[in-house]
Amino acid sequence: MALTEFTNLQQKVLAVMPKLSGFMSMLVSERMQRRWARQKCPYIEWRCSPRGSRARHFITRFRLHSFNAKGSGFIVLEILRDRKKLDRLYHRLILGMASLDFTISFFMAMSTWLAPLESGVLWAAGTHSTCQMQAFVVHLSVSVSCYNLFLAVYYLLVIGHGKRDRQLHRFEIGAHCSSLSVGLTIAISGLVLGIYRPSYIWCGTASSFQLDATRSIARDIWTWTFAVVVWFVVFSVTFVMIRVFIIVRQQE
């Protein structure tokens, strides 16, 4: 099947798939791994060791985030191959979001490979620079969340207020600039503060690595700021989509 033959419903499913697989990766928690280990350890000694458990974590993350990257990459290719899609504001917003999601998922799939070799992390094969680069890109994920918010606002403007694409030129510029600015600000601030460290998942603000008092306080403030931004976006998307739902029901 050609890329341009997919229906709108199939396109939306493809757009949601990376988010679903990302949510699944969050479910693979340490608690679940310990429960699995208690059941299997009498039979499979190595896989239930700390090293074996981390290896399973690594493989699971690699599969899930590789799937994310494939889904987002497919969306990017589909939009770029169709000139008509590039002429629509909706698809240009999706293109920006999917491009970021592809890059972020790729670096997440690399997991501990990019951690410094001397860090002692399982299968680490990188350097300090590759670790910092991975942490920087991973925290650009806030930009993807912001794109979701602007897509929700776009639905509200088009469905609720009858706006046309030609009337939303400034909105599109603001959506791209704001989404990228928020992500870059958070990612660069973490880099400047020097709080990025390797961990058994991927490089980030790992609390398992000791920092001096000043950097420890900076990391806590940065973490809270990151959380506030993410939750603000989540609640904003929820509010806007509820508003869209109410408008659609009233129109029916």
pLDDT, greater one: 30 or 202: 202
Backbone angles phi and psi of 109, in degrees to 5: -65, -30
**For the residues 151-155, what does the mean pLDDT come to?**
94
Q: How confident is the model at residue 198 (pLDDT cuts 50, 70, 90)?
A: confident
CA-to-CA dists, residue 190 to 77, 119, 170, angstroms: 32, 20, 30
Tell me the sheet residues that pair with 204.
197
Higher pLDDT, 247 or 122: 247
Spatial contact of 131 and 144, defined as CB atoms under 8 Å apart: no
Decide which of 34 and 150 is more confident: 150
> What confidence category does residue 202 fall into, taking pLDDT thresholds of 50, 70 and 90?
confident
pTM, to two decimals: 0.77
Other Cβ atoms within 10 Å of 181 Cβ, number: 12
pLDDT tens per residue, range 89-148 = 999 999 999 999 999 999 988 888 888 888 777 778 889 999 999 999 999 999 999 999
What does the pLDDT read at residue 24? 47
Q: d(Cα 47, Cα 76) in Å, to the nearest integer? A: 38
Collapsing DSSP states into helix, strand and coil, what is residue 185?
Answer: helix
Q: How many CB atoms within 10 Å of residue 178?
A: 15
pLDDT at 42: 42
Largest CA distance in the chain: 66
Nearest CA-CA partner of 216 in 242, 241, 243, 197? 197
- CATH architecture for the domain at 3-251: Up-down Bundle (1.20)
